[in-house]
Structure 1
Amino acid sequence: MKRVIVGLSGGVDSSVTAYLLKEQGYDVIGLFMKNWHDDSVTISNECPWLEDSNDALMVAEKLGIPFQTVDLSEQYKERIVDYMFNEYERGRTPNPDVLCNREIKFDVFMKIALDLGADYVATGHYCRKDTIEIKGKPVHRLLAGVDGNKDQSYFLCQLSQEQLSRTLFPIGELTKPEVRKIASENNLITAEKKDSQGLCFIGKVRLPEFLQQKLKPKEGQIIEVAAEEVLQKRTTPTFNTKNEELAFNAQKVSYSPTDGKVVGKHQGAHYFTKGQRKGLNVGGTPEPLFIIETDVDKNLIYTGQGKNHPGLFRKALFVTNDELHWVREDLALKVDQTMEVMARIRYRQPLQKATLYQVDGGLYVDFNQPQSAITEGQFVAFYQGEELIGSGVIS
């Protein structure tokens, strides 16, 4: 009997994960990760992790599997929270869920599991894994979940071959309604529980308030830039090489206060992100304002009217070599090589046709169609068919 340690989060997905593995004859242990207990930054008096750990405990008791809680809050603060504050201060928008998987669940947590004699770690992610052989060596493939509506492969885009070799995703073949049905047929307390929102494992914390704990409010101006102004800045020059064209298409437009008019005030450019519409509190425009750029150094926010404002769109993006990651190391491009892929720049975005171009300093992702709100600090993930082959931080 192979031993599997399940990250029991107190939600329905991980509960059914544990149930299925036990049915398949694995020696299953449930482990709850406590990642946060700094009560100064929880917004409500609710204590979500306590409620979640109780639910996880009750599921373990129902399934008759051993259960314990591990406190990873120190590592979580160091690797996730401090990183997030740092990124926001730089004017980038990090993705804590991708990082939490890479740094916590499949690193710190996985090491604890292996120390407990586990052969595998299992999580309730909607994705799949299979293993093929290339040149006599096993190669693990990370595949999209069967439920297109819930596919979470994007959140695992930073996993390595080593991490995948030790991982199981039992619900990847199921849809969410099927998972809930299994939970309710087996009287698991989490069957009807709502999916968790908020930061990965911090629970009911809202991001702006969370950021205000560390990044102090600082009043600045909101500037509205007309579409024509952007189009003038983006006149396309003639290019001598493909690299010049890629560099131009991946470049942000740079704005100055004279490019538009002041339409309001904000409490800190570092609280806002590109493509954001809510929270600006500026009315009276025919179409809603969207953020087209933030300048954290000068504490300015640039906005444009409507979701089709040209300031929102870019055709290409760049990933530096040190922030580029191949899940399939055997497919990594060499300088001057290209590859046709499908790509996405955020979790729920439908896959987009793109071409990868590897150059000296990194990788260009050149989309067939311009993309809205390409945001520094977020992850771009590349797919071939249903397989996620690599990813990188948008620079």
Structure 2
Amino acid sequence: MKRVVVGLSGGVDSSVAAYLLKEQGYEVIGLFMKNWHDDSVTISNECPWLEDSNDALLVAEKLGIPFQTVDLSEQYKEKIVDYMFKEYENGRTPNPDVLCNREIKFDVFMKIALTLGANFVATGHYCRKGEIEVDGKPVYQLLSGKDDNKDQSYFLCQLSQEQLAKSLFPIGELTKPQVREIALQLDLVTAEKKDSQGLCFIGKVRLPEFLQQQLQPKEGLIYEIPADSEIYNTSKPTFNSLEEELIFESTSIKYNSESGKAVGKHQGAHYFTIGQRKGLNVGGTKEALFIIATDVKSNAIYTGQGHNHPGLFKKALKVNSSEIHWVREDLKLKNGESMQVMARIRYRQELQQATLYQFESGLYVYFDQPQSAITEGQFVAWNIEDELVGSGVIS
């Protein structure tokens, strides 16, 4: 019997994952990760880890599998929380869920599982794993979950072949309603539990308050840029090369105080992100204001009215060489090569047609259609059909 350690989170997905593995004849161990101590910044009762660990324990008892809790809060603080603070401080918007999978669940947690003699680690992610042979060696595929509405392969876009080799995703072939149905039939305590929201394992966090622990509030101005501003009407230069054109298309417009009019104040540009419309507290505009740019150096926020404002859209983005990650290393592009893909720049976004272009300076993702709110620090992931083959941090 192969031994599997399941990351039991106290939710319905991981509960059913554990049950399915047991049914398939694996020796299953349930492990709950405690990753956070500071309750002062979570919104009360939204995701208290005590309740979750208790639910995980009840599920393990019901399924008759051994259970224990591991405290990873030190590693979580260092690898996720500190990284988040640093990114926000630099005016980028990180994705803690993607990092949490790469750095915690499929690294620190996986190593603990292996010391318990596990052959695999399993999670309740809605995705699937495939295996093919390339040049006589096994190559693992990260495939989207069967439930289009819940596909979570994007959150695993930074996994390596080594991590995938030891991973199992038991519910990837099921839809969410099917998973809940199984849990109801088994009378599991998690059967009708709401999905957890917010930061991986911390729960719902008041982000500004969370960030204020380290990033001091600093008053600055909010500017509004009119949609018919001259900035958007400049004619395109002529390019001497494709790379020049891609640099142009992926470079953000530089705004300054002369670009528009001051319409309000904020408490720190580092608390805000592109595409955001909540929390600005500026009234009196015909359409809602959306953030089109932030500048942490001058502590200014630039906004535009409506979700079709030209300042929100770009056709290309760049990933720096050091931040390109191929799940399928055998498909990695060489300098000068290109590839047709389907890409997304955030979870739950519909896949978009795009072309990857690899140069010495980095990788460019050029979309067929302009994309709204391309945000520095977030992850872009690219697929070939239903397989996620690579990803990178938007620079």
- State the TM-score, normalizing by the size of structure 2: 0.98
Q: How far apart in 2 are the matches of 1:251 and 1:137?
A: 40
Aligned counterparts of 1:275 and 1:45: Cα–Cα separation in 2 = 29
Alignment of 1:143-154 (within 5 A): 143-154=143-154
Residue correspondence of structure 1 range 191-210 to structure 2 within 5 A: 191-210=191-210
Name the count of aligned residue pairs.
395
Which residue of the partner structure matches residue 344 of structure 2? 344
Counterpart for residue 155 of structure 1: 155
Please tell me whether the aligned partners of residues 380 and 392 of structure 2 are also in contact (alpha carbons under 8 angstroms). yes
Q: In structure 2, what is the Cα distance between the partners aligned to 1:204 and 1:365? A: 32
| Conservation of the 8 A alpha-carbon contact between 1:198 and 1:206 | no
Matched, 1:296 2:296: yes
Matches of residues 354-365 of structure 1 in structure 2 within 5 Å?
354-365=354-365
1:60 is aligned with what amino acid? A
Cα deviations across residues 113-168 of structure 1 (Å, max 9, x unaligned)? 00000000000000000100011100000000000000000000000000000000
Distance 1:60 1:359, change over 3 A: same
Look up the SS of the partner of 2:37 in the other structure.
coil
How far apart, in 1, do the equivalents of 2:110 and 2:160 lie? 13
Distance verdict in 2 for CA 1:232–1:130, change over 3 Å: closer
Amino acid in the other structure paired with 1:269:
A
Partner of 2:319: 319
Aligned to 1:108: 108
Report the residue type matching 1:175 in the other structure: T
Amino acid at match of 1:240: N
* Alpha-carbon offset, residue 233 of structure 1: 6.0
- Separation (CA, whole Å) in 2 of partners of 1:114 and 1:98: 22
Letter in 1 for 2:82: D
SS of 1:170's equivalent in the other structure is coil
Which amino acid in structure 2 is aligned with residue 217 of structure 1?
P
Question: Given that residues 98 and 156 in structure 2 are in contact (C-alpha distance below 8 angstroms), is that contact kept between their aligned partners in structure 1?
Answer: yes
Per the alignment, residue 249 of structure 2 pairs with 249
The alignment yields a C-alpha RMSD, in angstroms, of 1.0
Query: In the alignment, what sits opposite 1:65?
Result: 65
1:214 and 2:228 are equivalent in the alignment: no
**Change over 3 Å in CA distance of 1:327–1:47 after alignment to 2:** closer
Q: Secondary structure at the match of 1:308?
A: coil
Q: How do 1:99-138 and structure 2 match up within 5 A? A: 99-138=99-138
Give the Å deviation of 1:40: 3.7
- Whole-Å Cα distance in 2 between the matches of residues 131 and 291 of structure 1? 43
- Structure 1-normalised TM-score? 0.98
Establish whether residue 239 from structure 1 lines up as the match of residue 257 from structure 2. no
Task: Compute the displacement of 1:77 (Å).
Answer: 0.1
Identity %: 77
Name the SS of the counterpart of 2:229 in structure 1: helix
Is the contact made by 2:47 and 2:202 (CA closer than 8 Å) also made in structure 1? no
Q: Is 359-368 or 229-238 further displaced after alignment?
A: 229-238
Cα offset, 1:215, TM superposition: 1.0
- C-alpha displacement of 1:186: 0.4
Whether the 8 Å contact between 2:232 and 2:310 is mirrored in structure 1 is no
Could you list the per-position Cα deviations for residues 47-81 of structure 1 after superposition, in whole angstroms to 9, with x for gaps in the alignment?
Answer: 71000000000000000000000000000000000
Paired residues of 1:129 and 1:140 also in contact (CA < 8 A): yes
CA–CA distance in structure 2, aligned partners of residues 272 and 226 of structure 1: 20
Partners of 1:4 and 1:45 in 2: how far apart? 31
